[in-house]
Structures are given as C-alpha cells and as structure tokens.
Amino acid sequence: MITAGLFLLPSLAGFSVFFLIPFAVGFYYSLMDSPIGGSFVGFANYLELLGNPVFRQAAANTMTFTAVSVPLNMALSLGLAMLLNRKLPYRNWFRISFLTPLVVPVASVTLVWKTLFDLHGTFNGLLVRWGASPHDWMESRAAIWVVIIVYLWKNIGYNMVLFLAGLQNIPAEFYEAAAIDGAGKFKQWKSITLVFLTPTVFFVFIMSIINSFKVFRETYLIAGDYPDPSIYMLQHFMNNMFKSLDYQKLTSAAFLMALLIVLLVAALFAVERRMGKSLG
C-alpha cells in the first residue's frame, strides 16, 4: 500500500497543484463579493447569475447546440462506421481521411472555415455567380449551423473509429445464426448490432457531449468575442467575464457548467448500468 502510494505521489501532486487547488480556490471566489478583501455572500453570486439575461441566453444556446449536434454526430459516425465495416475499395484511405481533422491545428481549421463562410468567402462567391445575393453566414441565425458543421467535421472521424472497433468485435457467427433462423437485416441490426454496441454507444455519447462544450475554440477564432447571439455560448460568457475581471460571475458560471456536466454524465452512467443489467 505504501509502495503504491509512493508511485502515485507525483501524479497526485500534479493533480492537486493544477486541478484540485484551483478548483477549490475558484469555488471560494464564487462565494465572495470580491476576490481581494471580499466578504462572504454565500450563493448570492449564483442567484444574480441565474437572473442575468446574457447568461441565460448563453446557457440556452449551449444546450441547444449540444441537443442538436450530439445526435447528428452519433448518427453520422455510426452510419459511416457501418459503411466502412464492409469490404469497400480504398476503405483504409477513407478511414484515414476521416481522422485528418484530429491532427489539423485549430488555427488552420478556422482559417479554412472563415474562407468558406465569410461575407466575401467561397460560398458567397458561388451564390453571386449563380445570381443570388451574398449572405453573412456568421452574423445571422445561420451561424449556429456553421458551428454545428465545424463540430461534426472535427468529431465524426474519432467517433467513427470507436464505432468501427465495436462493430469488429461482434462475432460474425451471431449474424450467421440469426440469418439461419430467418432474421432480416433490420432485425439483426436491432437485436445484435445495437445490443453489442451499447457500451460503445454510451462512451461515444458521453465523449460527444464533452466535446460539444469544447467548440468555443473554433467559434471564438471564427466569430470573435461577441459573435451573433445564436452562437454566444457559456464559454464566451466566461471568457468575457475574465477579460472584465468579474471573477464572481466567471467562477459561478464555471461551477454551474461543471455541475451540469457532472450530473448529466452521472445520469448517463446510471442508465448504462441499468441497461447493462437488463441486457445481462
């Protein structure tokens, strides 16, 4: 036990210095009215934050983005995985191409997407050539769909690989036995594929939700500090509070966001355990 503790000590020290202690200090600031010489105000900062219309708009946009992008991400990545699980020509090249977004620097990615969706960009150039008027994609309600496309392009390849690994672990004998018993393709997919993919589906679902909260980097580099209201996310709100040195709103928003993610992930694990028992 002592030996194991000694081996874990460097990791525990790093975790404490870079995560645990800042987490505790941030929570302390969220309960004070000022980071320097402040007094304890309890949850007053949280109540004030919940009454802030800008915060509510940012939270609503974040939830809307997650609710739309995550199911699309899972459906498209599963479909691609099932397609590439077959014997297709150049299958390995397709797999590699879908993983390319994972190794491309974020700055390069945003430069490409700005070139495509800018007011004087590629898409508007095509619209003008076809006789239509240009559209400012990033300064309209269409901006949310631009961000969703960027998120899908960035994350579909990773989830596809996870689904592909899960599909290749399903024994082929199960499908052969089901076919002998007269089960059709859809019945095999529902009763065999989805059942064996349940652990992978939950893992991909959780990772997709977590990655949806990381889309701020691309959105910030494409649209800046104050983008169109439809893509003003919680991370924008916290970033702007940091710039204005409003640590109370910053830390309160960060802890509410962290609490939401923890509760959501805990609920998903509870559902997974219940489904695992029922399937078992």
Torsion angle of alpha carbons 130, 131, 136, 141, nearest 10°? -90
Tell me the mean pLDDT in the region 251-273.
83
Q: What is the pTM of this model?
A: 0.81
Q: Are 196 and 128 in contact (CB under 8 A)?
A: no
Mean pLDDT confidence for 258-273: 82
Q: Would you list the domain boundaries of the chain?
A: 52-279
Where do the H-state alpha helices sit in the chain? Answer: 2-15, 21-30, 44-50, 53-84, 91-99, 106-117, 122-129, 143-168, 172-180, 185-188, 194-196, 198-212, 216-223, 234-243, 247-279
- The three-class DSSP label of residue 229 is helix
Does domain 52-279 fall into CATH 1.10.3720.10? yes
Q: Would you give the DSSP letter of residue 139?
A: G
- Confidence bin at 149 (pLDDT 50/70/90): confident
Token output for 96: 């590699």
Over residues 213-218, the mean pLDDT reads 80
- Distance (Å, whole) CA 260 – CA 254: 10
Average pLDDT for the chain? 82
Which band of pLDDT confidence, cut at 50, 70 and 90, is reported for residue 196?
confident
Tokens (6 digits) for 238: 């916290």
Point out which residues pair with 40 in neighbouring strands: 32
